Structure 1
Amino acid sequence: MHVDHIQRALLPSKTAPQAAEKLEQAFLEEMLKYCGPKSTDGAFGGGIGEDQFASFLTQEYAAVLARKIDLGFGERMKLQ
């Protein structure tokens, strides 16, 4: 029985930094849902359209933040 192919599959690949950035983006997106920018009420509010598309804006904010800052998830994802 050969398990060499399993051990090679567990080694970090070139996609590990991309996976870490996606994980950081997902984390930041969840944080921004609770403490990020909220929709505006009144004359300058976007109404129901703003409510419908607010998640896309939150997702983009998280993507920009994940590119700009490093939360260190990549270091924690490395195999020891």
Structure 2
Amino acid sequence: MRVDNIPAFYPSHTLPTQKLELAFLEEMMKYIVPQTSAGEFSGGVGEEQFSSFLSREYAVTLSNRLNLGLEAPRNA
């Protein structure tokens, strides 16, 4: 069985500046997203373990919508 056109799990960013923007936004999301709370209505261990995936998805969405201007100007 041959499988063609397997989509990437995360969108591929070919330019180093796009990778830098994604890494910056992902790190920024760690501090913006509310931290897990202890208690009966918290997400528990699962919330702690999977919060990084949510932060990454937020960063991917923001990087697709925002341009932080990290690209070097091109000489014409």
Shorter-normalised TM range: 0.5 to 0.7
- DSSP 3-state at the match of 1:53: helix
Q: Deviations over 1:9-59 (max 9, x none)?
A: xxxxxx43xx32221110011111122232244343211100011111111
Scaled by the length of structure 1, the TM-score of the pair is 0.62
Map of 2:32 onto structure 1 = 35
> 2: distance between equivalents of 1:36 and 1:62?
11
> 2: distance between equivalents of 1:64 and 1:39?
22
Map of 2:51 onto structure 1 = 54
> 2: distance between equivalents of 1:40 and 1:67?
30
Q: Cα RMSD over matched residues? A: 2.0
- DSSP 3-state at the match of 2:52: helix
Q: Partner letter of residue 22 of structure 1?
A: K
| Runs of 5+ consecutive residues of structure 2 not aligned to the other structure | 1-13
Tell which has more relative contact order, 1 or 2 (C-alpha 8 A, sep 6+).
Answer: 1
**Aligned pairs, how many?**
62
Greater shift after overlay, 22-31 or 42-51?
42-51
Scaled by the length of structure 2, the TM-score of the pair is 0.65
- In proportion to residue count, which structure has more helix? 1
The sequence identity of aligned pairs, in percent, is 48
